[in-house]
Amino acid sequence: MTSAATALGTLPPANPVPLRQDAAVIGLVGLAHGTSHFSHMLLAPLFPLFIRDFGLGFADVGLLMTVFFIISGVGQALSGFLVDRVGARPVLFAAIGCFLLASLVASQATGYWGLMATAVLAGLGNAPFHPCDFTILNQRVSTARLGHAFSVHGVTGSLGWALAPVFLVGITSLSDWRTAYYSAALLYTGVLALLWWQRDKLRTEVVVRAPAAHAGRAHDLAFLKLPVVWWCFAFFLLSTMTLAVVQSFVPSILQALYGTSMEAATLTVSAYMLCSAFGMFVGGFVTVYGQRHQISSDTVLAWGMGLGALLMLVCATGWFGEFGTMAVLAITGFALGVAGPSRDMLIKRATPKGATGRVYGTVYSGLDVGFALAPLVFGVLMDHGWYAATLAGGAVVLALSAYAALGVGKRVAVA
């Protein structure tokens, strides 16, 4: 009887980490991620005012976003090394500090170079977020709840995208755009203060490096020899190009094909993002279900991306008409959102021990490359008036990303 009681007593609980502890970490990291996506839109919503006030052209303001994503992409790949060496927390605080400084610079801008300085600072701030966020989540959240953690991380990012235009344009309509940037600076200050107050929950362990300098460098770069890392990079590049098509060109496509009003066309993009956020919420449960029933993350990811590609391709045919196309595009966002947490879980499986920051920094830099390339590739189709072909091209690229997801899963299984 004693041995039986002892045996029962030694059985570990289903999840030894308290829910409150995991939820606090997930919430703090989600808040930080929301500020990152908010900063993607720090300049774009007010482009018409900059064009009016500073006498700029569309090419001028477009270059601001190109600079933002180039700096963010290169910085993201490099910042992963820094995160692995010094820990995620100090890098995360410095990144939000860059956003705060960018807002203050924007509030004082008197011409194009002030806006360019804002883009540079915001790009620097955006660069380390994925290495920081996923290092903290993978170290501080229990494995059983990682699917939900990745789900919340994706949802807060989408909400950050949705909040920025409302926040900046709303305050500008009540006062002016300089006040809007002062308000953004206050927002960043509040977030930074909260994260500092709860900093113990964001602490990460740093892997001890090899004593010899040359051995340390070789160890740092060894992950680049893994094919799975570059398959992950390709997946992010391809899937992000489709997202860039939706964000940048769908309003113009709907207007050109169906005469949709600008308000309704823009609302379609907002609906896509909100459905994507809801899909990510659902995707957290899908990921947990898959873990329990041995359904691989790459399978869930490929099905979500494949379904999204099919829906977008049908939209390109025009079969659904104006309102049907708008609705199906929103559903496409849901399909891709459901796949989001499985994507992050798959990359976790592909990451060697002690290299979380470097791997996430490298593969997520594909996101910035995709955002930078998509306007160049699909902008040519738009300039020629090939609007349906642009949607179809986004579908093809999304289908290729599904193939890349299966490639990642295959190489993780082999490893």
Chain segment 14-33, per-residue pLDDT in tens: 557 788 899 999 999 999 99
Quick one: pLDDT band at residue 379, thresholds 50, 70, 90? confident
pLDDT at 353: 67
Give helix then strand counts, H and E, for the chain.
Answer: 16, 0
Confidence band for 398, pLDDT divided at 50, 70 and 90: very high
Identify which of 163, 159, 141, 134 has the alpha carbon closest to the alpha carbon of residue 337.
Answer: 159
At 293 the pLDDT is: 78
Residue owning tokens 């590609």: 309
CA-CA distances (angstroms) from residue 71 to 50, 77, 95, 128, 404? 22, 10, 13, 11, 25
Backbone torsions φ then ψ of 110, nearest 5 degrees: -120, 5
Q: Could you count the other beta carbons within 10 Å of the beta carbon of residue 193?
A: 10
Domains of the chain by start residue, with CATH: 20-206 (1.20.1250.20), 220-415 (1.20.1250.20)
pLDDT surpassing 70 at residue 8: no
pLDDT at 355: 64
- Whether 388 contacts 316, CB under 8 Å: yes
Percent of the chain with pLDDT over 70: 89
**Nearest-angstrom CA–CA distance, 366 and 119:** 19
Q: Looking at per-residue confidence, does 253 or 209 come out higher? A: 253
Task: Note the pLDDT of residue 93.
Answer: 97
Count CA atoms closer than 13 A to 74's CA, side-chain side. 8
Residue 258 neighbours by CB distance under 10 Å: 17
Comparison of pLDDT for 262 and 127, the residue scoring more: 127
Mean pLDDT (whole number) for 237-263: 84
User: Tell me, what's the pLDDT at 213?
Assistant: 46
**What's the whole-number mean pLDDT along residues 360-386?**
81
Indicate whether 218 pLDDT > 80.
no
Using the structure block, give the residue that is written with the tokens 């977008």.
312
Structure tokens at 196: 């500092």
pLDDT of 228: 78
User: Residue 354: what pLDDT?
Assistant: 63
Give the model's confidence band at 209: pLDDT under 50 very low, under 70 low, under 90 confident, else very high. low
**DSSP per-residue letters across 26-87:** HHHHHHHHHHHHHHHTSSGGGHHHHHHHH---HHHHHHHHHHHHHHHHHHHHHHHHHHHHH-
For the cut 50, the answer to whether the pLDDT of residue 92 exceeds it is yes
144 or 107, which is more confident: 107
CA distances from 93 to 88, 115, 133, 250 (A): 9, 23, 12, 35
Which is more confident, 410 or 142?
Answer: 142
Determine the pLDDT at residue 219. 57
Cα separation, 402 vs 382, whole angstroms = 25
pLDDT recorded at residue 96: 97
Burial class (CB in 10 A: 0-12, 13-18, 19+), 410: middle
Q: What is the largest CA-CA distance in the chain?
A: 86
Cα separation, 264 vs 82, whole angstroms = 44
- Tokens describing residue 131: 């290495």
Q: Quick check: 276 and 331 in contact, CB under 8 A?
A: no
Q: How far apart are CA 170 and CA 281, in angstroms?
A: 28
pLDDT at 271 over 70: yes
Tell me, what's the pLDDT at 121?
97
Predicted pLDDT of residue 269:
79
